[in-house]
Amino acid sequence: MRVEFHGAARTVTGSCTLLEAGGTRVLVDCGQFQGEDELERLNRAHFRFPVPEIDALVLTHAHIDHVGRAPLLVRQGFRGRVICTRATAALVGIMWRDGVKIAEEDARRGGPPAPYGEHDVIALERAIETRRYGEEVRVGSGARVTLTDAGHILGSAHAGVKLFEDGRELVFGVSGDVGAKGRPVVADPSPFAKADCVQVEATYGDRDHRDGEASLAELLGILEKAVETRGIVLVPAFALGRTQDLLYHVNLWKNAGKLKNLAVYVDSPLAIKITQVFRGQPGAMDDDVKALLSRGDDPFTFEGLTFVTSHDASERLPREAHGAMIIASSGMAQGGRIRGHLAALLPRESTEVIFVGYQAPGTLGRRLVDRAQVVRLGGREVPVRARIHTLGGFSAHAGRRELLDWLRDIGDGPKRVFLCHGEDRALESFAAAIRSELGFETVIPDLGQAFTL
Ligand SMILES: [Zn+2]
C-alpha cells in the first residue's frame, strides 16, 4: 500500500494524490497549478505515474485547482472511471470547458498549443459515475471509496479510501478542501468517522479567519459608502462558490431593506453558467437556502442585479456603473474580465477593491494584497490609488482552529497526517500545532514523494 503526492505538495494548488493497494490505483483529484510561471509549466508536463493504469479518478469538488489537469490525463492514456457527487458532475464539465477555452485562446495569442481539447472533456464526462454522500463504491479488489460532505462548495466531498492488500485493511482519508462552519449555501463539513491516515489541506493552517460577522459588517459598510458616493466596489471572485456566496448575502440585505440603490453586476460568463447550475441543484443546498427557496425567494436574484454577458457591455461598465459592485473572475486576477476592470479602476481613488479568497504568490491578486503601488496590466504600468481590502471572513476554507477540530473529530485519531495544499509557513505552523495539541505524527510531503502505508 502506498501514497504518492503529485500536486498541492508544499504549495496550495494542483491537488493530485495517488493511492495504490492490491494492484488497484485510485487518483484523488487532478488539479491545475496556479501562480508562478515555473509552477504553471507543470500543467503541461507528463504525469510521473503510469496514467493508463489508473482505475478511478475521484473528484472531491469542481474547483479548477482540484480538477483542472484531468483532461490531460485522458491525453496521456487514462481510461478509468470518474467518481464524484451529482452536483460536482453538473459543475465540472463547465469548469473543464472553460479551461479548454482559456488554453486555446492563449495558443491563438502565440502561447504554447493547448494541452487538451473538447474531446478529452467529453471522454471524462462519459466516464463519470455520480455517488451520494455515504455510499461505498468498490474500485478493483484493492480499494473502496466513500464520499462525505466537505462543506466547502456545492457538491464538495471528503474522499475516504479503504485500501486492501494481503489481508490488511487501511483507511486513507483525503480532505479535499475543508469548509468553514456556518458558510452560506453549503452544510458544515463532516469529518471521517474513521481514518488510519489522513491527507489534510492547510491553506489557512497558520491563522484563524476574522469572524464572519465582522467581515459581513465591513462589506456592508463599504457597499453603503459606494451607494452614497456613487463609487465602484470591485470584487475579484472565483466564479464557482464565492460569487454565489456574495449574491446570497446581498439578497438577504436587500430583503432587509438595505442597499436599496446598490447596482450589482456579475461580469463573468462562467459565473453565470455556474449560478444556473446552482439553481438546478436545490437538494445540494443547506437548510437556509432551502427555506428561502420554499418562500419563493431565489437567493441569487434580486432587484438591481445584472448578469453581464457581452464583451461590449463589460468594457463599458467602468465608465457607466455608479454606486455599484462589480463581481468578476478570476479570483486571483490572473485572467478573465476582472483585469480590464482593474486596469480602468485601480488608478481611481474612489475605487474599493475587495479580495475575498486566497491569493497565490506570483498572482496579480497577491501583489495587490501585498500593497503594490504600481502593477502591470494589459502591457502598461497601472498606478494603484484604489483602496485594497482583504475580507478573510468570506473564506470557504476552514481556519486553523476549525482544521484542528476537524482532525480531532476523526474517531480514534489518525496515525499519520499528511499536510498538503498550503504555503510552507502555513504547513510548518499547522504541523507544529497538530503535534502539540493532538499528538499525531505529521508529514509534509514534497512534490512526487511516495510513502509506504
Ligand atoms: Zn476548493
2 CA to middle of ligand 1, Å? 25
Angle between helix axes 118-127 and 86-108 (nearest 10 degrees) is 170
Q: What is the H or E stretch that residue 137 is in? A: strand 136-139
| CA terminus-to-terminus distance, the chain | 5
228 CA to middle of ligand 1, Å? 35
- CB contact set of 316 (below 8 Å; sequence gap of 6+): none
Phi-psi sector, 385: left (phi>0), alpha (psi -120 to 50), beta:
alpha
185 CA to middle of ligand 1, Å? 15
User: By the 8 A CB rule, do 57 and 148 touch?
Assistant: no
Task: List alpha helices for 191-286, DSSP H.
Answer: 212-229, 242-255, 269-279
CA distance 25 to 2: 10
Quick one: pLDDT band at residue 118, thresholds 50, 70, 90?
very high
184 pLDDT higher than 90: no
59 CA to middle of ligand 1, Å? 11
As a whole number, the mean pLDDT across the chain is: 95
Could you tell me the three cell numbers for 431?
A: 504541523
Closest CA to 175 of 82, 68, 60: 60
258 CA to middle of ligand 1, Å? 31
CA distance 260 to 240: 26
Please report the pLDDT score of residue 58 as a whole number: 98
Quick one: pLDDT band at residue 424, thresholds 50, 70, 90?
very high
Q: What is the mean pLDDT of residues 3-14?
A: 96
For residue 254, count other CB atoms closer than 10 A to its CB.
17
372 CA to middle of ligand 1, Å? 27
331 CA to middle of ligand 1, Å? 12
User: Could you give the percent of the chain with pLDDT greater than 90?
Assistant: 86
Closest CA to 353 of 262, 232, 221: 232
- CB contact set of 436 (below 8 Å; sequence gap of 6+): none
420 CA to middle of ligand 1, Å? 13
Closest CA to 191 of 178, 182, 201, 208: 178
Please report the pLDDT score of residue 211 as a whole number: 77
Quick one: pLDDT band at residue 171, thresholds 50, 70, 90?
very high
22 CA to middle of ligand 1, Å? 30
Give the strands of the sheet with 157-165, arranged side by side: 136-139, 143-149, 157-165, 168-174, 197-201, 416-420, 441-443
Could you tell me the three cell numbers for 413?
A: 485519531
381 CA to middle of ligand 1, Å? 32
Q: What is the mean pLDDT of residues 24-32?
A: 98
161 CA to middle of ligand 1, Å? 19
240 CA to middle of ligand 1, Å? 9
Quick one: pLDDT band at residue 394, thresholds 50, 70, 90?
confident
Quick one: pLDDT band at residue 78, thresholds 50, 70, 90?
very high
> Exposure pattern of 101-138 as b/e (b: 16+ CB <10 Å)?
ebbbeeeeeeeeebbbeeebbebbeebbebbebeeebe
120 CA to middle of ligand 1, Å? 23
295 CA to middle of ligand 1, Å? 30
From the centroid of its chain, how far is CA 333?
14
259 CA to middle of ligand 1, Å? 30
CA distance 26 to 18: 6
Could you tell me the three cell numbers for 427?
A: 504547513
84 CA to middle of ligand 1, Å? 14
Q: What are phi and psi of 246, to 5 degrees?
A: -65, -45
For the stretch 344-386, pLDDT in tens is 999 999 999 999 988 989 999 999 999 999 999 989 999 999 9
Q: What is the DSSP letter of 261?
A: T
Please report the pLDDT score of residue 340 as a whole number: 95
Quick one: pLDDT band at residue 173, thresholds 50, 70, 90?
very high
177 CA to middle of ligand 1, Å? 5
For the stretch 208-264, pLDDT in tens is 887 788 899 999 999 999 999 999 999 999 899 999 999 999 999 999 999 999 999
pTM over 0.75: yes
279 CA to middle of ligand 1, Å? 20
Closest CA to 233 of 116, 155, 350: 350
